[in-house]
């Protein structure tokens, strides 16, 4: 059995977040790819069921990628605002968006596999 050369560093459930993460890795010359991104673009309602978009990097730079993700993980997650304040209208706009095939924002957050970077960050915080 041949061992896979790339390592998983994150699982993302948002197409924009995937593109930003890949651009960040490209900026730092980290070879990375998003496994399942084509499925997400073709069948976005199945993204959660398919297990998200797996971000993988080359093992030679995996520690550098994890350090970048650890820096991102320290920031608080963005809370997506509602379209309108009224909850009934918010649901109505959501249904309309789904009928028009606009992907709704997912409520699942990204998972980062930080390994040693998480442990080092925890020691410095506590």
Q: Is the pLDDT of residue 31 over 80?
A: yes
Q: Is the pLDDT of residue 1 over 70?
A: no
Note the pLDDT tens digit of each residue in 108-122: 778 888 876 544 444
Beginning with the edge strand found earlier in the chain, give each strand of the sheet holding 53-57 in spatial order.
32-35, 53-57, 7-12, 111-112
DSSP H or E stretch at residue 123: helix 116-125
| pLDDT averaged over every residue in the chain | 79
Q: How confident is the model at residue 80 (pLDDT cuts 50, 70, 90)?
A: low
Pair 39, 50: CB distance under 8 Å: yes
In angstroms, how far is the first alpha carbon of the chain from the final one?
A: 42
Take residue 5 and report the two structure tokens written for it: 């050369």
Note the pLDDT tens digit of each residue in 34-53: 998 988 888 877 777 788 89
Report the pLDDT value the prediction gives residue 100, as an integer from 0 to 100: 79
What's the full length of the chain, in residues? 126
Q: How confident is the model at residue 57 (pLDDT cuts 50, 70, 90)?
A: very high
């Amino acid at each position: 059995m041949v061992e896979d050369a790339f390592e998983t560093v994150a699982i993302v459930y948002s197409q924009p977040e995937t593109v930003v993460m890949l651009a960040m890795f490209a900026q730092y010359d980290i070879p990375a790819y998003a496994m399942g991104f084509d499925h997400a673009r073709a069948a976005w309602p199945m993204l959660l069921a398919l297990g998200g978009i797996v971000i993988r990097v080359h093992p030679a730079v995996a520690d550098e990628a994890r350090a970048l993700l650890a820096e991102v993980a320290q920031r608080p997650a963005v809370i997506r605002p509602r379209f309108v304040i009224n909850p009934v209208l918010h649901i109505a706009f959501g249904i309309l968006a789904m009928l028009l095939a606009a992907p709704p924002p997912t409520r699942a957050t990204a998972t980062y596999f930080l390994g040693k970077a998480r442990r080092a960050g925890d020691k410095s915080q506590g």
